[in-house]
Every structure is written in structure tokens, then in C-alpha cells.
Chain A
Amino acid sequence: MPTRKPFNWASAAMLAVFGAGLSHAGMDEAGKWIDQEFKDSTLSRAQQLEEMQWFVNAAKPYQNITIRVVSERIDTHWYEANVLTKAFTDITGIKVVHEITGEDDVVKKIKTQMDLNYSIYDMYINDSDLIGTHYRSGKVVALSDFMEAEGKDVTLPTLDLDDFIGLSFTTGPDGKLYQLPDQQFANLYWYRHDWFSRDDLKAKFKKIYGYELNVPANWSAYEDIAEFFTVHVKEIGGVRVYGHMDYGKMDPSLGWRFSDAWLSMAGAGDKGIPNGIPVDEWGIRVEDCHPVGASVSRGGALNGPAAVYSLAKFTEWLQKYAPPKSNELNFSQAGALPGQGKIAQQIFWYTAFTAALTDPKLPVTDANGKPKWRMAPSPRGPYWEDGMKLGYQDAGSWTMLTSTPLERRKAAWLYAQFIVSKTVSLKKTLVGLTPIRESDINSEKMSSVAHKYGGLIEFYRSPARKAWTPTGTNVPDYPALADLWWKNAALAANNRLTPKAAMDKMAKEMDGRLQEIADKGQARCEPKLNPEKEESYWLSQPGAPKPKLDNEKPQGVTQTYEESLKAWQ
């Protein structure tokens, strides 16, 4: 859920020149935009024109409307807000204000509209982490229903839903599509390939740890490498370096560090893609679509041994291996450090930062902007087993609320489809590096630029992308529960509670909140808490919650970068 630096205005400046003076919407404008901005497309020019002709016709009844939408602050959305809104207005005549704000604010705004039944925006680009909230709330329009019924006349015939890679994240347990992905990025392992390739450092690592310095496949190896750089290497080229980077300030952004799949990387949940069944990566158990508890005593895994282990390792690594005072930083402050050339590896890194780390001026790129770093699959914790999700993927997705008037929803749906259409999406992917369509990922254009992006395209072409998934449908009300993560994790990160005490407290509070959600009522599948039982009962059942391992630090395992890529095939 990143929120970050301003968009590079200069790269889009040219657009304003021909975007500004056009007053008559229609196919002439469509032709200009296709020729000047949307040359990179998986469609032929004729197919693009045909697609745009549909927009021109479908938009006619809505030309007097100015629609208002909101999204978080990443490059993809800046491109949409500053360039694609102009293209859409020029071609269709419908005006758009696409507001950009922090992710936390987007969630607050959509929650406000849902709670108050008071229309603020015509559509939201909202992370699919809220899918469990949306399908239970009764306040979100099921897009699959809308496209068949009241929205049929404004649904793009060439939308090609099967081409979207993230629909499993945005589909409810009822099989209905509630959101349409607009951009996706994953959270992967990031490391300095140049340092890891140095013979002297490789020899030194092998002498100390007895195996090769390479991409860590498990948390044991990650920990060894973190110690190696922070404690044994210390300096490279006169610069103090560290084997780990993280953050721990009591701030909402600390929540993403955990809710974005940290427990599943340790192996706390059950098997199942996109999310563990019946226990997911939040440690919430669901039975027959009803959340039944997060505490081990109710069959959940939030305070189980694997979850406690994951928080303990987070805290230990932050304190021992990250730069001093990292526990006082928030997400944005910490995000700048890998680019400054002091960090050897980072276990939790969002690929939305790919473009930002290819700036030729940075010490982590060569003079041509070619990265000295690589991204690779996240290492897995000792509780992880085959068939489980292995990391997080963010899928910012178009979301329509029942409280928005129908005409406004229809006009907004046209804009939403325009900016994910095949005419536009390849160019948008090249700008923001947040792919949503299989056709774009497999395009020749993507092959020609893959070398610039440190493994991003390879990740998205591999089946691995299916094991990096957003928060799933077990979480019945994301905005009502999410603050528990940062409020409790911060207590452990700052040594105010032990990891076990923090997770026990959080599990109890999570159950309390689940009960409050049940008491308020939901349209469907509301929480129904299990009665409490001895923890030993649940720990002896198959799957999550899993009993404590005798050895939580098995032998470290590393792979060459090439081997780690092959693991994705």
C-alpha cells in the first residue's frame, strides 16, 4: 500500500500541449491520442479506433457530467490523473477529476461513504484487500451483475475480463466480481546483486556460515545475510552498510508491514491460493463463509506460534540488523533508504518502487540506469508449506458503491474501463510498471524492456504471481480491523510488550472487533465466533493454527539469482 513521491511531471508535459485546446470530443481526438500517446498497444491501430468508437458512442448521454474518482499516490495513478483524464475527456466529452491521496485516506473515504450512505465519489480505486468487506457489506455494486443489467449499455464489449490477471482477488465467495483491477504490484525480496556477486564477500560469507552468499530461500538464510552485512562486512567503499532495512514507528503505515501478508510468509495460515482456507494470513478462521475467530482458542492463528515467531523475527531483525533508529521511521521515511546505497537486502519491498530505483543518479544504478539490484521471490519462514501463499500483491481496483446515483456510476464506469482498456493499458503499464493484463505482460514490447526492471517482468510472466496475493475474503471489515495491526505491532517493535504478549492482546482485540461487526450486522456472512476451547485442541488439529516447531531456525538455504528465477517457471 505505498504512498510516495510526486509524479514526474516533465514526462507528461508534451500531452498538455495537444490535450489542452481540443473542444470537440470524438474520433479525430481519438486518432490523435492513439498516434501520439497510445502507440504501444497490443491492439492494431484499426482495433484501437474501433474500441474508441464504442467509447464515443456510449459516452454521449453523459457529456454534461463531471465525474470524481479517487486513488492512492503511485506513478500509475498520477499518469491516469494527469494524462488519461485528458484523453478520456477529449475523446468522450465526459469531464473527470481524478483525485490523488494517501492509501489510508482512500480507505477512510470509501468507509465514510459506506457507513453514511452519502455519496462522495462516483467510483474509487480501492485495494482489493477490502474484498471481504465489500461482498459482506451489501453497499458495493457487484460488477458482474451491473455489467449484465443496468450497466450493460456502458460495458465495453472488448473489455476481455479473461485477460485480467487479478480477478481471483476481486471475486467474492459468491462467485461475483466486486472490483476490477486497475493496477497491481507485488511485495518481493530486494537485494544488491552487485555486492552478492563479489568474490571477496562470497568467500567471507562461506567461511563464516558454510554456504554460498546468494538469494535466500528461507528466513534462516535471510537472517544470516542480514548479520553478515551489518556485523561482519560493515563498510563497502567507505560507506556503513546494513544487511536489513525495516521500520517500526507507531503509525498506520506499520500496519501494512503485517497485514500485507507477513504472517503468511512465515507460514502462519493454511494452504490455499489466493488465501489460506480455512485460516488466512490474518489468522482469521472462516467456516461456511462466517469468520469464527482469530485467537487460537477459537480456531484462529493470530496468536499461534507461527504468528508470534513472525513478529519476533520482525522485531529482532529491526533492532539488530537495520540502521540505528529504524524503529522511529514510518513507511515513507524508510522507503528512501535502499536507493541511497547502504542496504544489502530487504525482505519486504514493494515493486511499485521499481521505477524510482532505476534513476541513473542513484548509487544503486549504473550510468544508464541499469539496476545494480534485483528483485527475487520472498524467502519463506519455517512454518511455510507448499500450496500456501508466499507474499503480498496489491491490486488497486475499481469499486462502485450503491449510494452513488446510477447515472454518475455509469459515467464513471466508462472512465474506469477506458483506463484499463487494451488501447491504453500497455502504455500505462510501461509508465507505472503495475501490470493488470496477461496480453500486456506477454507482449513483445515488454520483452524488449524487461532487462531494465530487475526481474519485475519475469515475476509477472511466471506462475509465481499467483502465490503473491492480497488480503482475502476472510477479513469481514478491513477498515474496522486494520488499525489493530499497527497499534499492537508497534508495542513489540519498541519493546513495550513481548511478541507473544502483543499477539495475545491483538488476537483478543480482533475477536472483540469481530463480535462488534456481528452485533452491528452485515448483509451476509457476518462473523459468528466459535466458543473458546483449550488452545491444545486447535493446535493438535491438522493445518493452522500450527504447533510450535522444535527448531525455528533450520539450515539456511540460498539459490543463485538464476535458480531463484527458475523456481518461478
Chain B
Amino acid sequence: MKALICALFLFAASLSQATVLSLITEELPPYAYKDKGKIVGASVEIVEALFKEAGVPYEIKIMPWKRAFELVKTKDACVFPIQRSQEREALFHWVSPVLITQTGFYAGAGKAVPVTTLKDAMPFKIGTYRGSAVEEYLVGQGFTVDATTVDEANVHKLKAGRLDLWAADTLSAAYVSKKNKVQLEEIMVYFTTLRALACNPNVSESLMQKLRTALQSIYQKGVVDAVIEKYRQ
């Protein structure tokens, strides 16, 4: 009997260990970054609130996006915040949206660039972050963009007059502007994106359902708005 109890205990312990879900994100301030060794950021705070609301054990790791993406395709883990697209739909189970982000055109301080539609922006020299969804969207619409591997460089290029506009996520723009003490003009916010938590299809449907219910709850409690507002300032 004692042996059985012991075995049951061990079994339960291994089960509970197995249900700690790995959540993977990339270094992308202010959404996710390391501060004094701790992983923090807007999307990290939202996902933490989500898992606490659902009562699901989790651990968050940071790794390069490509590695994270490939890992979640093969292992029982989740990646966030990821754009839910038609092309990716069949690859994952989704909890969406953990974030609603926006993309805009920014100009240097005091610059009035006459842009009220996407087309208006076409003649201007626009900087973007190479490989980003921002770049992908604009190139898909026939734009020629000046892409860099360090998004922050775009702020300095704006200041130096080497770019007319920087196409960037609104929260990232606020963060970079503050960090570099460079004032920016928000010219037009032109696109809204739903960003999700995407899990390997082997993660159980009942767990996914629990997370979806918890997501509704944290939106209705105003948790998501409060986090975004904190990072917008």
C-alpha cells in the first residue's frame, strides 16, 4: 500500500511538472526584455496575468524569434506575441489576441509630412525594421522601404534627415523615443494587428479553452488596457 501511495505521489508530481507550459518570446522592448535578469515587458505582463487568471503553471523564456518559432512547431510549448495569419493558421492552436498593436508613420520633431492615407506615404523615404511584419505589409502594398537590422537606428536617421518617415509599432516608437530622448511626430497610425499566443497542436484543447476564457476575463477587467497604457507613457 505504501509503495502504491508513493508511486501515485511520484506520478502526480511528474504530471504537475509536465503541465508547466513553456512560453517563449523574443527580446523586443517594450514588449519583452530582460531587466536585471528578470523577463519583463508589456506582452510578458499580459501573458502572466492570463496564465494566473487561468490557474495554469508556466515558465517564460526568451530566445531568437526564428528558434522560438521552429521549437514551438515541434515541442509542446507556446510562442508569443505572434501575428495570427492565414499562412500560420494551420500550424498552431491559438489564444488570440493577447495584444492588439498598431503601426504608424513617425517623422522627426516639428516635421509635418502630408500623409493621411497609405498611398500618400509612397513617395517618401521610409525606414523599417528588416524582416518585421511592418516591412512585410508595406512591401506587400508595393512600397520600397529602407530596412535596417537595428530598428533604433531609424530614429537617428530621422533626426539626421536621412529618412522622411519611420514605420513602426506605436509602443516601440514611444519606447525608443523615450530611451533615446528624441522627440517624434506621429503622422498616421495606419494598421492594427492582433497578436496571439500560439501553441503546438499537441497542447490539449481543454487547456487552450481555459486560456481563451481567461483572456476574455482579463480584457473585461481592464488588465490589458492598464498594461498597454503603462508602456505608452
> Which of A6, A70, A115, A251 lies in contact with B86, CB distance below 8 A?
A251
Contacts of B97 in A (CB 8 A): 112
Within the assembled complex, what's the spacing in Å between the Cα atoms of A483 and B190? Answer: 29
> Which of B120, B142, B192, B215 lies in contact with A6, CB distance below 8 A?
B142
B76-122 contacts to A (CB < 8 Å): 84-87, 89-90, 96-97, 100, 114, 116-120, 122
With contacts A20-B120, A115-B216 known, what are 16 further pairs, Cβ within 8 A?
A: A6-B142, A9-B122, A21-B114, A81-B119, A89-B116, A97-B188, A97-B190, A99-B192, A100-B118, A101-B191, A112-B96, A116-B215, A121-B192, A250-B90, A253-B86, A486-B90
Chain B proximity of A106: nearest CB distance (Å): 11
**Cβ-closest chain A residue relative to B222:** A118
Q: Is the CB of A82 within 8 A of B119?
A: yes
Contact string against B for A residues 102-138, beta-carbon threshold 8 Å, 1 for contact and 0 otherwise: 1011001100100111101100000000000000000
B140 on the A face (CB < 8 A): yes
Q: How many residues on A have C-beta within 8 angstroms of the other chain's C-beta atoms?
A: 41
Within the assembled complex, what's the spacing in Å between the Cα atoms of A330 and B119? Answer: 28
Contacts of B118 in A (CB 8 A): 81-82, 100
Within the assembled complex, what's the spacing in Å between the Cα atoms of A21 and B114? Answer: 8
Within the assembled complex, what's the spacing in Å between the Cα atoms of A112 and B215? Answer: 11
Contacts of B87 in A (CB 8 A): 251
Q: Is the CB of A108 within 8 A of B84?
A: yes
**Cβ-closest chain B residue relative to A104:** B86
B residues sitting closer than 8 Å to A (CB atoms) are 84-87, 89-90, 96-97, 100, 114, 116-120, 122, 140-142, 188-192, 194, 215-216, 219-220
Chain B proximity of A83: nearest CB distance (Å): 8
**Cβ-closest chain A residue relative to B117:** A82
Within the assembled complex, what's the spacing in Å between the Cα atoms of A111 and B195? Answer: 14
Q: Is the CB of B86 within 8 A of A109?
A: no
Contacts of B89 in A (CB 8 A): 104, 251-252, 483
Contacts of B219 in A (CB 8 A): 116-118
A285 on the B face (CB < 8 A): no
Can you offer 14 A-B residue contacts whose CB atoms are under 8 A? Answer: A9-B142, A21-B114, A81-B117, A82-B118, A85-B116, A86-B117, A99-B192, A100-B141, A104-B85, A105-B85, A105-B86, A115-B216, A252-B89, A252-B90
Q: Is the CB of A20 within 8 A of B114?
A: yes
Q: Is the CB of B119 within 8 A of A9?
A: yes
**Cβ-closest chain B residue relative to A516:** B209
**Cβ-closest chain B residue relative to A16:** B120
Q: Is the CB of B192 within 8 A of A68?
A: yes
A16-B119 CB under 8 A given contacts A97-B188, A97-B189: yes
A252-B216 CB under 8 A given contacts A6-B142, A86-B116, A112-B194: no
Chain A proximity of B144: nearest CB distance (Å): 12
Q: Is the CB of A109 within 8 A of B140?
A: no
Contacts of B86 in A (CB 8 A): 102, 104-105, 251-253, 330
Contacts of A250 in B (CB 8 A): 90
A95 on the B face (CB < 8 A): yes
Contacts of B90 in A (CB 8 A): 250-252, 486-487
A12 on the B face (CB < 8 A): yes
Q: Is the CB of A116 within 8 A of B192?
A: no
Within the assembled complex, what's the spacing in Å between the Cα atoms of A120 and B100? Answer: 8
Q: Is the CB of A108 within 8 A of B96?
A: yes
Chain A proximity of B134: nearest CB distance (Å): 14
Central interface residue in B87, B117, B142, B216, by most chain A CB within 10 Å: B117
Contacts of B122 in A (CB 8 A): 9
Q: Is the CB of B96 within 8 A of A120?
A: no
**Cβ-closest chain B residue relative to A331:** B86
Contact string against B for A residues 8-34, beta-carbon threshold 8 Å, 1 for contact and 0 otherwise: 010010001000110000000000000
